[in-house]
C-alpha cells in the first residue's frame, strides 16, 4: 500500500491531536510533519514534499489562505476550520475538501475518499463498490472494499455492523473493517436468518448475541441499543414468545 504523506497544520493543540488521532487509524496515512503556523507549513512543504495537507485557516504569521495563494504547485489540501465563510474561497483555490470543526471521524473518512478519488479520477465513477461474495457456499462470505483492497469476510465471523453515515464499520472476531457503503445495503443483502437490524445504526449477528433486554442486546461485552421500531422484529428472530 502506497503511503499518503501528509502534514497537519493547526495552531490549536486539541485540533492537531484530533486530526493526528484520526490519521493514526488509517494505515495509508503517514504524518510527516505537524505545524502550528503558516511559515512552519511553508518550510515543511519544502522539506517533506507531502501529498496532502490538513490545513487550518486561522494561523499566526501566515494564514492558510495566504499560504495557498503563495504556492505555485501546492499539494492536495483539505481545509480544517471553524469558519464556514471561507468555503467559497477555498474551493476557488481548488482544495479537495472543507471540514468544519468539530470534525467527526466519519466526515474525516469521507474527505480521505475524496482525496483518493481526486488523485485517481477513475475512482469517481465507482466510489461505492458493492459487496460481492458467495452467500450460498458451505461457509458463506462477502467481499467488501477497504483501503483500496477487496477484503474477504466470513459471515460466521461478523459480530455486528455499525453505520457511520456514508460508511459502515464491520466488527468481526479478528478486526474492524471500514467500508464506503450504507447500512441499508447490508441489511438487504445479508441473510435474515443470521442477521437483524436492531437500530438505525446497527445490524447484529444473531449467533453472537450473548444477552438482551427490552432496550439493548449484548454482543460479547458490547451493549448495542435496540430501536423501538426494530424491537418486534428482534423478538421474532430470537424466537421469543
- The 10s digit of each residue's pLDDT in 107-166 is 999 899 888 877 765 444 444 444 566 777 788 898 888 766 778 899 999 999 998 867
In this prediction the pTM is: 0.54
Say which DSSP state 42 is in. Answer: H
Q: Tell which wins on pLDDT, 78 or 114.
A: 78
Show the cell assigned to 89. Answer: 474561497
Show the cell assigned to 180. Answer: 464506503
Q: How many residues does the chain have?
A: 241
Per-range mean pLDDT, top range of 30-39, 73-82, 121-130:
30-39
Mean pLDDT over 224-239 rounds to 87
Instruction: Tell me how far apart the alpha carbons of residues 148 and 125 are, in angstroms, rounded to a whole number.
Output: 15
Mean pLDDT over 156-181 rounds to 89
Average pLDDT of the chain to the nearest whole number: 86
Task: Give CB contacts under 8 A, 24+ apart, made by 59-67.
Answer: 59/9, 59/10, 59/11, 60/11, 60/36, 61/37, 62/37, 62/38, 63/38, 64/9, 64/38, 65/89, 65/90, 65/93, 66/38, 67/38, 67/41, 67/42
- Give residue 90's pLDDT: 63
**Please, which pLDDT band fits residue 236 given cuts at 50, 70 and 90?**
confident
- Give residue 130's pLDDT: 46
Question: What pLDDT digit, counting tens, does each position of 204-222 carry?
Answer: 999 999 998 889 999 988 9
- Give residue 235's pLDDT: 85
| Structural domains for the chain | 4-124 (3.40.50.2300), 132-237 (2.40.50.1020)
- Give residue 196's pLDDT: 94
Q: Tell which wins on pLDDT, 96 or 225.
A: 225
Mean pLDDT over 214-233 rounds to 91
Q: Which strand ranges, in their side-by-side order, compose the sheet holding 97-100?
A: 29-35, 4-9, 52-56, 76-81, 97-100
Amino acid at each position: 500500500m502506497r503511503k499518503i504523506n501528509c502534514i497537519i497544520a493547526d495552531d490549536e493543540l486539541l485540533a492537531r491531536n484530533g486530526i493526528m488521532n484520526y490519521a493514526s487509524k488509517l494505515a495509508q496515512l503517514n504524518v510527516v510533519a505537524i505545524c502550528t503556523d503558516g511559515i512552519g507549513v511553508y518550510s515543511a512543504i519544502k522539506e517533506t514534499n507531502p501529498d496532502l495537507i490538513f490545513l487550518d485557516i486561522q494561523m499566526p504569521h501566515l494564514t492558510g489562505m495566504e499560504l495557498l495563494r503563495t504556492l505555485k504547485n501546492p499539494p492536495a489540501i483539505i481545509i480544517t476550520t471553524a469558519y464556514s465563510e471561507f468555503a467559497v474561497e477555498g474551493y476557488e483555490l481548488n482544495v479537495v475538501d472543507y471540514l468544519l470543526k468539530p470534525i467527526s471521524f466519519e466526515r474525516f473518512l469521507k474527505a480521505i475518499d475524496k482525496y483518493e478519488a481526486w488523485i485517481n479520477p477513475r475512482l469517481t465513477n465507482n466510489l461505492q463498490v458493492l459487496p460481492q461474495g458467495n452467500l450460498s457456499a458451505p461457509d458463506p462470505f462477502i467481499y467488501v472494499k477497504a483501503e483500496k483492497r477487496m477484503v474477504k469476510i466470513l459471515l460466521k465471523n461478523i459480530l455486528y455492523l455499525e453505520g457511520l453515515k456514508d460508511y459502515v464499520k464491520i466488527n468481526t472476531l479478528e478486526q474492524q473493517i471500514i467500508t464506503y457503503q450504507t447500512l441499508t445495503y447490508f441489511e438487504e443483502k445479508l441473510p435474515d436468518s443470521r442477521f437483524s437490524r436492531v437500530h438505525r445504526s446497527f445490524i447484529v449477528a444473531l449467533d453472537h448475541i450473548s444477552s438482551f433486554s427490552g432496550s439493548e442486546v449484548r454482543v460479547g461485552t458490547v451493549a448495542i441499543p435496540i430501536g423501538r421500531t426494530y424491537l418486534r422484529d428482534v423478538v421474532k428472530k430470537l424466537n421469543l414468545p
